[in-house]
Amino acid sequence: MDAPDRPDGPGPTMLDAVGWALRAPSLHNSQPWRWRVDAAEAALYADPLRRLYETDPDRRDLLVSCGACLHHLHVALAAAGTGVRTVRLPDPEDTDLLAVVTIVDGPADAAEADLWPALPRRRTDRRRYADRPVPGSVLEAVTAAARRHGALLLPVSGQARRAGIDAVLARAADEQRCRPGYLAELMTWTHRYAGAHDGIPAWARPTRPAPRGTGPNRAFPAGRLTATAAAPAEGGVLAVLCTRRDGPEDRLRAGEATSAVLLTAVRAGLATTPLSQALELSATRSVLARDVLHVDAHPQLIVRLGYPVDDRELPATPRRALSAVLAP
């Protein structure tokens, strides 16, 4: 899966760039954002009506998702040759106002512009990954991308650590299944009404979940996504994205770092899957940091990187129209 050629850049307006930002990943493809846009400024708001209260009790996933959308906007504006100034959490009295991005005179961010070719190609790929090593140069590149946004990306190496992270993932799955409302939310976002333009369609979900403890993906209701008939053992790399602190801005910036990591990996020809389940419970989050990673940091997301055994490109999951996310 070669890196794509650079496609034409986005249109020249802020509204065009926000349209591209809507391709960002989000928890269950819930797209929990609203935008207020004028000619030279865009304000990003969290949409509380799209928060998954049982899956995301402390708004972590909502803020990470919105941070990814914010970074996608930065990439689109940089690709259009536009310089920007971004103020995060500008109003302490309005916790839903997450960022204000203003077009300014000055050069575009070249590093962000370089990620543009990956933005239309990025997919959450839940297929089995081949037992093919991810090059060290790619791991260095994605680690540097996270660091550029103030986050740490820690690849999980060694059998002991991988077994530890698999145990944390299995524990989170077991505990969440017992939480009132969790399964109802899962069904809501995997069985959307016709024309919803959100959620996880059947063709993006595996035909059957991996047996408990044998795979990192969340156990979704069975779908139609298959790998090749003779799939080898699960390969790829799991990497944990962490921040030094755990406030709202840290979670927002973790989402920006997540977007940068995913786009950097896709640019290098990898498939990617963001995994949040182990971080949605305080107990498993603590175990992951203390007993598996041995770090004094706050895990915010796990990223799965690798080469799918089936190299056919997946279609894009549905997205709401730009008009549906614009605030009056």
Domain residue extents for the chain: 14-118, 136-306
Q: Are 239 and 142 in contact (CB under 8 A)?
A: yes
Contacts of 201 (CB under 8 A, 6+ apart): 192, 223, 317, 318
Residue 11, pLDDT score = 72
Write out the DSSP string of 187-219: HHHHSPPTT---S--GGGSBSSPPPTTS-SS--
**Span 5-20, average pLDDT:** 79
Residue 63, pLDDT score = 98
Q: How much of the chain, in percent, has pLDDT values that exceed 70?
A: 93
| Res 229 pLDDT > 80 | no
| Res 243 pLDDT > 60 | yes
The per-residue b/e assignment along 192-226, b for 16 or more CB within 10 angstroms, e otherwise, is beeeeebbbbeebbbeebeeeeebbbbbbeebebe
Nearest CA to 276 among 88, 63, 40?
63
Residue 168, helix vs strand vs coil:
helix
Nearest CA to 78 among 255, 251, 263?
263
| Res 209 pLDDT > 70 | no
| Res 184 pLDDT > 70 | yes
**Torsional sign, CA 171, 172, 174, 178:** positive
* pLDDT (tens digit per residue) in 281-326: 999 999 999 999 999 999 999 999 999 888 889 999 999 999 999 9
**Span 182-195, average pLDDT:** 95
Contacts of 321 (CB under 8 A, 6+ apart): 197
Q: What topology does CATH give the domain 14-118?
A: NADH Oxidase (3.40.109)
Residue 212, pLDDT score = 58
Using CA atoms, how far apart are residues 117 and 267, in angstroms rounded to an integer? 7
What is the 8-class DSSP label of residue 308?
B
Q: Which residue has the higher pLDDT, 309 or 124?
A: 124
**What CATH number belongs to 136-306?**
3.40.109.10
Using CA atoms, how far apart are residues 285 and 149, in angstroms rounded to an integer? 21
Distances from the Cα of 190 to the Cα of 164, 183, 184, angstroms: 29, 10, 10
Tell me whether domains 14-118 and 136-306 share a fold.
Answer: yes
Q: Which helix (H) or strand (E) holds 103?
A: strand 97-104
Residue 328, pLDDT score = 82
Q: Which residue has the higher pLDDT, 6 or 315?
A: 315
| Res 234 pLDDT > 60 | yes
Please give the mean pLDDT across all residues of the chain: 92
Query: Of the spans 4-8, 229-233, 277-281, which averages the highest pLDDT?
Result: 277-281
**Span 229-252, average pLDDT:** 85
Q: Are 42 and 101 in contact (CB under 8 A)?
A: yes
Using CA atoms, how far apart are residues 64 and 253, in angstroms rounded to an integer? 7
Residue 12, pLDDT score = 74
